[in-house]
Structure 1
Amino acid sequence: MEKKDLQILAQNLANPQGEKGIEIGEMMNATNIGMTLESIKTLLIEDDETILEIGHGNAAHVKSILNKAQNVQYTGIDISETMHNEAKRLNAEFKDHAEFVLYGGKKLPFEDQAFDKIFTVNTVYFWENPVEYLNEIYRVLKDNGTFVLTFGQRHFMEKLPFTEYDFTLYNTDEMEETVSKSYFKRMKVSEKDEEIKSKTGDETVRRIYTVLTIKK
């Protein structure tokens, strides 16, 4: 891919826009679904819980969350108006149990201790102030709640040609250190790998990623 195409891809991975953004959203859902389903499994969702996903993309996976237990309430939040609209369209049948919120990317527009479980997949690269943002997540998570943070490890991500454009990459130790600077006190680390199709073409790559299970 040309440099300009890589920049456009990087911009749409961070904040999908328009028709191109819809295409990127579909591609992201396909390539990230393994990480997403692993994150959902790690949450250990129970009946009557409230779940927040940060950076939901097109949210084609919401059914997998709602099927985990009885009377689950899902909230997805995203900075992309394109993904916000796509998520509502794709999940219209679940409107009684799933809502989608558009926001500016810094302050979470929710009351303190609003959610039992929170998760995010492949968004941490775009957080402007990671510790401040982690403290926002801490604020809206219940005291006995669980936060799952999932991301591709630095040595894998830096091989991808688009990550040189406005991505901040982390290895597991760097992310653990970042979390330790926030209000969160405990975390469990799990490292995974999977075969996926590259975002820049049809070749298959081996992705190595980290799932952090974080508690107050």
Structure 2
Amino acid sequence: MENEKLKLLAQNLANPQGEKGIEVAEMMNATNIGMTQESVKALLIEDNESILEIGHGNAGHLKAILSRAQNVRYTGVDISETMYKEAKRLNEQYKDQAGFILYDGEKLPFEDETFDKIFTVNTVYFWKEPVRFLNEIYRVLKDNGIFVLTLGQKEFMKTLPFTEFDFTLYSNEEMEEVISKSYFKRMKISEKEEEIPSKTGNEKIKRIYTVLTIKK
């Protein structure tokens, strides 16, 4: 795949736009579903809890989140207007339990201690100021809440041709160091491995990723 196409793919992975963005989002939902499922499992969702997802994409996984417990309330935030509209369209039937908000990627538009559980999958590569944004997450998470941060490991991510375009990659040690500079101090690291279709072709690749379960 030539450089311009790789660059366009990278841009749409970071911030899906228009028809191409919708197409990439469908692919992301399919290739990231394993990471999303492991993240949601790590949240240990209970009845009556409020969940925040940062970078919801098309939210094709919403039903699975809402079905994990009774009376779960979901909020998704995304920087992509295309994804905001697409997630609302695809999840119209869940509008009484779920809401989507377009935001600037830096300031979470919520009061302090709003959510019981927060998670994000494959977004950390695009955070402009990681420590500052982690502190935003800390701010809107309730005491005793759980934050799950899931990312592809640096050595694996470096093998993907599109990550040379505006991705910041982290090893487990580098991610731990970033988190330790934030208000968060307690974390558990779980390494996972799965086989997924490549985003640039039809071949299968082995992805190694990390699920960080972080508490106040």
Indicate the TM-score class for this superposition, using the shorter chain for normalisation: over 0.9
Matched length? 216
* Deviation sequence 1:116-147 (CA, Å, 0-9, x none): 00000000000000000000000000011000
Q: Distance in 1 between matches of 2:206 and 2:173?
A: 20
Query: 1:192 aligns to what?
Result: 192
Aligned partners of 1:201 and 1:141: how far apart in 2?
39
Structure 1 Cα separation of the partners of residues 110 and 126 of structure 2: 21
List aligned pairs for 1:1-216, cutoff 5 A.
Answer: 1-216=1-216
Give CA-to-partner distance per residue, 1:58-106, whole Å, 9 cap, x none: 0000000000000000000000000000000110000000000000110
Using structure 2 for the length normalisation, give the TM-score. 1.00
Partner Cα distance (1:171, 1:194) in 2: 18
- Separation in 2, partners of 1:185, 1:156: 26
Amino acid at match of 2:208: I
SS at match of 1:151: strand
5+ unaligned residues in a row in structure 1: which ranges?
A: none
1:157-176: CA deviations, max 9, x gaps?
00000000000000111001
Q: Which amino acid aligns with 1:203?
A: E
2:38 aligned counterpart, secondary structure: helix
TM-score scaled to structure 1, two decimals? 1.00
Q: Separation in 2 of the partners of 1:203 and 1:133?
A: 35
Structure 1 runs (4+) greater than 3 angstroms displaced: none
For residues 4-51 of structure 1, what are the alpha-carbon distances to aligned partners after superposition, in whole Å with 9 as ceiling and x for unaligned?
000000000000000000000000000000000000000000000000
* 3-state SS of paired residue (1:193): strand
Please give the alpha-carbon distance, in whole angstroms, between the structure 2 residues aligned to 1:132 and 1:53: 18
Distance 1:3 1:189 in 2: 34
What is the CA-CA distance between 1:179 and the residue it aligns to?
A: 0.3
Q: Secondary structure at the match of 1:21?
A: helix
* 2: CA distance, partners of 1:67 / 1:176: 31
Q: What is the deviation of 1:150? A: 0.1
Q: Give the RMSD, CA atoms, in angstroms.
A: 0.3
For residues 202 and 67 of structure 1, what CA distance do their matches in structure 2 show? 32
Q: 2: distance between equivalents of 1:136 and 1:195?
A: 33
Q: Cα deviation per residue 1:180-214 (whole Å; 9 max; x = unaligned)?
A: 00000100000000000010011100000000000
